[in-house]
């Protein structure tokens, strides 16, 4: 069934609650494992259907936030989900206390119970109002950004449509003007952005305290489902990033300043331009990128070939940046149909290719594991998921010429350098959020100052001058929607990028061997914890300081030896 044909109708919320209560009663009264398993499997099908309806409403709303019908449906689910959570939480407690727990664990593995123990710590009926308000505030932030119209050179552009001017234009003055224009839009909406986030921080702090925690941080880790590492592990990783990776990234930007004929440190606008002749750009339009992806996935493996044909045949990708569309990109699952869906905003930059490989990495994993029971095993934890996507970007390297043509040599350097320089930024996002939730009563200005201070630690190559006040004054974090919508998510990208660099190293010497490791990791879905998935696939953990040190050394050596002759 094509995505456009998938039916949607708002369910009756009271009936959903009754259905959940009936499942709970049957599990509570199950006389033996056979009866408990039967209701468990029925519950799985029920959850698949409810989640599919919610996902259809969310995706169609994000495709066009101006659509009144799906705007109302998205609001319905924002308010319904916390109310449904009460009955779902009772189900979790019944499963945890079930006399047949050992039987379930024997058949389905114990990760489902490890995760259930964590999820059980994230909810109480007392926080339903806060959860509903949190959803609505997040929606307000996304709608604000989706509705942005940025005046530039006599026309108006969305945020996504501004990217080519900010990234691809080799004219310094025009590129800086684009950064200023975008920054001015954020400045013009500063009060709104500050207010939304201030409300979110206090709501989350209140939820954490209502559940008996010190504030939000502990609850935030539980909500992220972190089942094999702690806040202390993340802090140690951040310290290793500053120790090993920031110096390598700093060297990349120093060399870039020399290529561009600029004084180090450079402005945000100049740091966006890797080569004086312009950054690597796709060789063709969106259709050409999809055609190249089709060939790449066909030649990579039989599994990826079948997967990408499924995506094309089902029209399961919405890729173009259009009016009213939510920003960013994501992948999700339509569980009733055993298929993933990819959402993106192509804008003519290198990111288009990295998006169709990144999000397709997520989608491929979901495709391989679509029929897993329990359905929670379809996806692993977020840090594990980002390994699928970030590594898939590197698996596309042997096919890079299909995507980039004459800019292929630029792409190789840019992609690896970008992987290295991203990790300090992503780690800074995580550090910033820890500071915010440890100090929930900070004023908006104090938050901006904290971001500016962290820039000096994690991104010393950024010149904080007055050219672009929005960035120079420490407000640039407000572009990062994860900070608003998914607190503590962003470190997952950094952990995963470290693992993806392991795959990059393998790909340089033995692509088939690297693919075997990738498939060993991916086929397990969410049936293992992050660290167990890595161990099962023969990969090092990013929490091992030697891992980060090693990938930094290898990437640094490759970049320093890379022949940029003839590229200006």
Contact status, residue 119 vs residue 165, Cβ threshold 8 Å: no
Instruction: List the pLDDT tens digit at each of the 568 positions of the chain.
Output: 999 999 999 999 999 999 999 999 999 999 999 999 999 999 999 999 999 999 999 999 999 999 999 999 999 999 999 999 999 999 999 999 999 999 999 999 999 999 999 999 999 999 999 999 999 999 999 999 999 999 999 999 999 899 999 998 889 999 999 999 999 999 999 999 999 999 999 999 999 999 999 999 999 999 999 999 999 999 999 999 999 999 999 999 999 999 999 999 999 999 999 999 999 999 999 999 999 999 999 999 999 999 999 999 999 999 999 999 998 899 999 999 999 999 999 989 999 999 899 999 999 999 999 999 999 999 999 999 999 999 999 999 999 999 999 999 999 999 999 999 999 999 999 999 999 999 999 999 999 999 999 999 999 999 987 789 999 999 999 999 999 999 999 999 999 999 999 999 999 999 999 999 999 999 999 999 999 999 999 999 999 999 999 999 999 999 999 999 888 7
Residue 228 φ/ψ, nearest 5 degrees:
-150, 10
The backbone region for 150, taken as left when phi is positive above 0, alpha when psi lies in -120 to 50, beta otherwise, is beta
Could you give the CA distance from residue 200 to residue 269 in angstroms, rounded to a whole number?
30
> How confident is the model over 213-264, as pLDDT tens digits?
999 999 999 999 999 999 999 999 999 999 999 999 999 999 999 999 999 9
Residue 379 · residue 365 · CB < 8 Å: yes
CA atoms within 13 A on the CB side of 451: 24
CA distance 163 to 354: 14
556: closest CA among 513, 501, 509? 501
Buried b / exposed e across 394-430, counting CB within 10 Å, b at 16+?
bbbbebbebbbbebbbbbbbbbbbbbbbbbbbbbbbb
pLDDT tens per residue, range 397-429:
999 999 999 999 999 999 999 999 999 999 999
**Would you kindly state where each structural domain of the chain is located, as residue ranges?**
3-110
Coil, strand or helix at 399: helix
Q: How many CA atoms lie within 13 A of 38 on its CB side?
A: 8
DSSP class of residue 528 equals S
- Look at residue 22 in the predicted model and tell me its pLDDT: 98
142-171 pLDDT, tens digit per residue, is 999 999 999 999 999 999 899 999 998 889
- Read off the pTM: 0.95
């Amino acid at each position: 069934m094509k995505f456009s044909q998938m039916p949607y109708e708002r369910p009756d919320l009271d009936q959903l609650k009754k259905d959940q209560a009936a499942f709970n009663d049957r599990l509570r009264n199950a006389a033996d494992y056979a009866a408990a398993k039967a209701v468990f499997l029925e519950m799985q099908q029920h959850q698949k259907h409810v989640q599919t309806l919610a996902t259809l409403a969310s995706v169609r709303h994000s495709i066009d936030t101006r659509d009144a019908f799906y705007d109302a449906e998205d609001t319905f689910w924002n308010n319904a989900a916390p109310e449904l959570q009460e009955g779902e939480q009772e189900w979790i407690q019944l499963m945890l206390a079930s006399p047949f727990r050992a039987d379930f664990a024997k058949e389905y593995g114990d990760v489902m119970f490890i995760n259930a123990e964590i999820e059980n710590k994230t909810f109480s009926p007392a926080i339903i109002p806060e959860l509903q308000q949190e959803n609505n505030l997040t929606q307000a932030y996304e709608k604000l950004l989706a509705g942005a119209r940025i005046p530039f050179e006599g026309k108006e552009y969305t945020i996504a449509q501004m990217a080519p001017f900010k990234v691809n234009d080799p004219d310094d003055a025009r590129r800086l003007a684009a950064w200023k224009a975008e920054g001015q839009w954020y400045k013009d909406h500063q009060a709104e952005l500050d207010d939304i986030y201030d409300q979110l921080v206090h709501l989350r702090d209140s939820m954490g305290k209502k559940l008996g925690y010190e504030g939000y941080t502990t609850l935030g880790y539980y909500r992220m489902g972190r089942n094999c590492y702690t806040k202390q592990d993340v802090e140690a990783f951040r310290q290793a990033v500053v120790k090993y990776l920031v110096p390598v990234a700093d060297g990349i930007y120093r060399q870039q300043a020399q290529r561009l004929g600029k004084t180090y440190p450079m402005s945000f606008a100049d740091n966006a331009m890797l080569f004086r002749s312009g950054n690597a750009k796709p060789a063709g339009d969106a259709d050409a990128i999809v055609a190249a992806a089709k060939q790449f996935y066909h030649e990579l493996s039989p599994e990826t070939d079948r997967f990408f044909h499924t995506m094309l045949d089902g029209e399961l990708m919405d890729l173009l940046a259009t009016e009213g569309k939510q920003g960013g990109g994501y992948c999700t699952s339509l569980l009733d149909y055993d298929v993933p869906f990819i959402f993106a905003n192509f804008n003519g930059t290198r990111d288009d290719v990295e998006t169709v490989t990144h999000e397709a990495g997520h989608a491929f994993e979901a495709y391989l594991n679509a029929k897993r029971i329990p359905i929670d095993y379809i996806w692993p934890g977020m840090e594990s998921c980002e390994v699928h996507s970030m590594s898939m970007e590197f698996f596309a390297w042997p096919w890079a010429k299909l995507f980039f043509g004459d800019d292929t040599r630029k792409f190789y350097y840019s992609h690896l350098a970008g992987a290295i320089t991203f990790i300090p930024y992503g780690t800074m996002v995580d550090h910033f959020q820890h500071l915010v939730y440890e100090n929930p009563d900070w004023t908006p200005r104090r938050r901006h100052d904290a971001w500016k201070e962290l820039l000096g630690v994690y991104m010393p190559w950024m010149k904080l001058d007055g050219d672009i006040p929005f960035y120079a004054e420490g407000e640039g974090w407000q572009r990062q929607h994860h900070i608003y919508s998914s607190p503590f998510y962003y470190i997952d990208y950094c952990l995963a990028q470290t693992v993806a660099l392991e795959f990059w190293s393998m790909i340089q010497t033995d692509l088939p061997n690297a693919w075997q490791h990738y498939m060993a990791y991916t086929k397990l879905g969410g049936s293992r914890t992050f660290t167990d998935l890595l161990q099962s696939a023969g990969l090092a953990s990013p929490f091992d300081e030697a891992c980060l040190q090693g990938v930094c050394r290898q990437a640094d050596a490759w970049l320093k030896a890379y022949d940029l002759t003839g590229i200006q």
